[in-house]
């Protein structure tokens, strides 16, 4: 089964280079345009199913993509919600402490989740999708989620994990 994964379109916090985990905000005009363009780029990929995070920015992106690829129903999956970054929410995403924490898989962001916590909720979802062997599927989620999904398919060192950043509405393709 083909699995496509995309990050939501740009938000005001992304534009300001702020860490955005559980803050529930919508897309900027640029983010709307990015989502529409992503949808156009996915038109010939045979996607039959869209599953999205419940956060507004992912739901809005999913709807815009769905409109472009002619899909009516968007499934919502709680496990695709962005990582809880705890005390780093709404801080500078280039912050030294935030990025040091990102390189430590077993260490929780203070007040939030560790990367191991994140894998613990995402890997079972990916295992379920693999077992279903269903139609070509698109997951619409978040930067931290995309980073972790990538580790399901690739061996990634902590430093590479921390450095990886999928652009807004960037698309990854995997065989599940």
Contacts of 70 (CB under 8 A, 6+ apart): none
Q: Is 147 annotated as a binding residue?
A: no
The beta strand positions in 108-170, using DSSP E, are 137-141
34 labelled binding-site residue:
no
Q: Is 83 annotated as a binding residue?
A: yes
Q: Check the annotation: does 17 bind a ligand.
A: no
Q: Tell me the C-alpha distance between 163 and 122, whole Å.
A: 20
Q: Is 101 assigned to a binding site?
A: no
Q: Name the catalytic one among 82, 89, 113, 142.
A: 82
User: How many Å apart are CA 42 and CA 97, to the nearest integer?
Assistant: 37
> Is 148 annotated as ligand-binding?
no
Whether residue 8 lies in the annotated active site: yes
Pairing of strands 171-175, 2-7: antiparallel
Which residues participate in catalysis according to the annotation?
Answer: 8, 82
As annotated, the binding site for substrate includes 7-14, 57, 82-85
Residues in the annotated binding site: 7-14, 57, 82-85
């Amino acid at each position: 089964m083909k699995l496509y994964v995309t990050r939501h379109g740009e938000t005001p916090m992304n534009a300001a280079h702020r860490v955005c985990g559980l803050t529930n905000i919508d897309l900027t005009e640029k983010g709307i345009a990015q989502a529409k363009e992503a949808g156009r780029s996915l038109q010939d990929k045979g996607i039959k199913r869209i599953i999205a995070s419940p956060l507004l920015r992912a739901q809005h992106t999913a709807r815009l993509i769905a409109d472009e690829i002619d899909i009516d129903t968007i499934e919502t999956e709680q496990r695709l919600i962005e990582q809880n970054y705890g005390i780093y929410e709404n801080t500078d995403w280039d912050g030294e402490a935030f990025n040091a924490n990102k390189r430590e898989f077993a260490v929780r962001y203070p007040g939030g989740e560790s990367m191991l916590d994140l894998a613990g909720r995402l890997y079972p979802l990916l295992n379920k999708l693999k077992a279903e062997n269903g139609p070509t599927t698109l997951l619409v989620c978040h930067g931290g989620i995309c980073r972790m999904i990538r580790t399901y398919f690739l061996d990634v060192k902590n430093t590479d994990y921390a450095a990886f950043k999928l652009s807004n509405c960037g698309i990854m393709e995997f065989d599940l």
